A = this chain, B = another copy of it.
């Protein structure tokens, strides 16, 4: 019985039903505060009904909601009176030095610094470029960053026409540049161990009058000199490799910004896409 409600929830997490899991998430979301109010408020917050709450706390081994609540209060009291337990780790369940906490610390620091250095005017300008459907968009990444390029490409494709992914890892990439016209946009990802082929691509694109947008690391790829806009993302991590999380964040934000700017068109394209998905039955019908 020395077990906290949080632990109990985790223990039974696997045997919970859909609504119960939803509820468990809501409780854990800002634990234990949300459990201290009346049952109806908790139910509403979790988007389930009050009986579901009762059933779930009974599954956790409490006789009913009041007992559960009083357990929460006791835990909270113990925690508050013990200042060592101050909330400064990401995964409460993991020890302080666990890699889950160490790595997340580093990534948050990366995000903070990346955002601090990002120029909103530049960001808005890039958004405008990408939202302009008269310009074709080419997206390219290197060995490590190809996954990011692919991700950006996938989403931009839904938002607007004329988006192409270039694989610089294959040596057929010059084929992809045949249609490149003055004023087109080339988005490049390049992080350290900067790649020759990506640099070549940027040189050619710049020469042909395309606007290059570069996502690079804090040490800046040599491509920067050819780029009209460049975002420097911190990528340091407590690992033999770097973390591209901040870079993904910036890319996703860019996607969101472009989409916001071109929402009318995007919505139509999404509808068309949905219709095609329905026709192909790729996805499960519900949920």
Contact = CB atoms under 8 A, between A and B. Distances in A.
A22 B30 CA distance: 33
A218 B282 contact: no
A41 B107 CA distance: 26
A70 B248 CA distance: 38
B73 A82 contact: no
A253 B147 contact: no
A178 interface: no
Given A33-B73, A244-B248, 15 more contacts: A10-B119, A22-B219, A30-B77, A36-B76, A90-B112, A107-B249, A147-B147, A194-B287, A195-B284, A237-B256, A239-B252, A239-B255, A240-B263, A241-B256, A245-B249
Interface in A102-129: 103-104, 107-108, 111-113, 115-120, 123
Interface stretch (A148-156, A180-188, A203-211): A148-156
Given A116-B92, A253-B104, A195 B282 contact: yes
Interface residues of A, number: 93
A114 to B, nearest CB: 9
A100 B80 contact: no
A10 B117 CA distance: 8
B28 A117 contact: yes
A199 B285 CA distance: 13
A118 B147 contact: no
